[in-house]
Amino acid sequence: MSTQGYNRLRGSISNLCQRSLARLRADALWLCPILIIHLCLTLPLAWKLNLWIDEASSLDTSGKSFLYALRQAFTYELQAPLYFGLLNLWRIPSESIFHARLFSVACTSLMLVLVVGIVRRYFPKLHPAWVVALLAVHPFTIWAATEIRVYALVMLLSAVLMRLFFDGFLAVAPQQHSRWGYFGIALLSLYTYYFLGFLLVAQGCALLVQRRWSELRVLVGGVLLVGAGIVERE
């Protein structure tokens, strides 16, 4: 690469970083207060609410070794194992109910951050603050954040899939690394919650409706490989 080309590339990267930092600062002005409101709603509930039977089941399944949690997920919970394995690792510093619920609070908080980029991609004329604020105080989000169950992680993985799907398949210039990331997260999603497979089908239908045949072929091929990986390990 010539010196002139190198300088242009460095200048482009520098400008991109500056624009990204400026947008992050602008987003922080409204995103941080929304996240604080979300935490003010969820943390007291996570501390105060009584334990119920499904949460007690999660604590029992994740209460011993990592391999025990994975095995119990299959044989006792009759669910995909990844959530229970992650919960087992999360509970290493503390066995308290509140600490276990903090995993769900962290998942919903990260989901809210991801929604900013999702709204900008799918609804560019809509300011993301409206959607993030609605989700932050929505009863379902609050409920999922205070449950020692898989639901908050499902919301987070769904948000990641939505974002990577746009970047890898719907964007004007689809990104190859986003496609690889999409299939990787798809595999993790199916190991977390089998019904997330319906989201993959819906995204394939979106490409079908838009007649994006080349992207659809890539998606179907990748999802079939992901499904084969699940079946083989089951």
pLDDT tens track for 107-122:
999 999 999 999 999 9
Tokens 């974002």 map to which residue?
A: 163
187, part of any domain: yes
Kindly report which listed range (14-23, 31-40, 137-146, 147-156) carries the lowest average pLDDT score. Answer: 14-23
Cα distances from 189 to residues 66, 122, 177, in angstroms, run 19, 22, 18
The answer to whether residue 35 scores a pLDDT higher than 50 is: yes
203, part of any domain: yes
The answer to whether residue 197 scores a pLDDT higher than 70 is: yes
Residue 210 is which amino acid?
Q
The answer to whether residue 17 scores a pLDDT higher than 70 is: no
Residue of 160, 177, 179 whose CA lies nearest to 121:
160
Confidence of residue 86 (pLDDT cuts 50, 70, 90): very high
**Between 8 and 112, the higher pLDDT residue:** 112
Q: Which residues contact 143 (CB under 8 A, 6 or more apart)?
A: 151
CB atoms within 10 A of CB 220: 14
The answer to whether residue 24 scores a pLDDT higher than 80 is: no
95, part of any domain: no
55, part of any domain: no
- Identify whether the C-beta of residue 62 lies closer than 8 Å to the C-beta of residue 87: yes
2, part of any domain: no
41, part of any domain: no
**Between 2 and 229, the higher pLDDT residue:** 229
Residue 136 is which amino acid?
A
User: Residue 165 has what DSSP assignment?
Assistant: H
Confidence of residue 4 (pLDDT cuts 50, 70, 90): low
Structure token digits, residue 6: 């190198």
Residue numbers of the domain that contains 225:
150-234
Encode burial over 77-94: b for 16+ CB neighbours within 10 A, e otherwise.
Answer: bebbbbbbbbbbebbeee
pLDDT at 13 (0 to 100): 52
- Identify whether the C-beta of residue 112 lies closer than 8 Å to the C-beta of residue 132: yes
Number of structural domains the chain divides into:
1
Cα-Cα end-to-end distance for the chain: 49
143, part of any domain: no
32, part of any domain: no
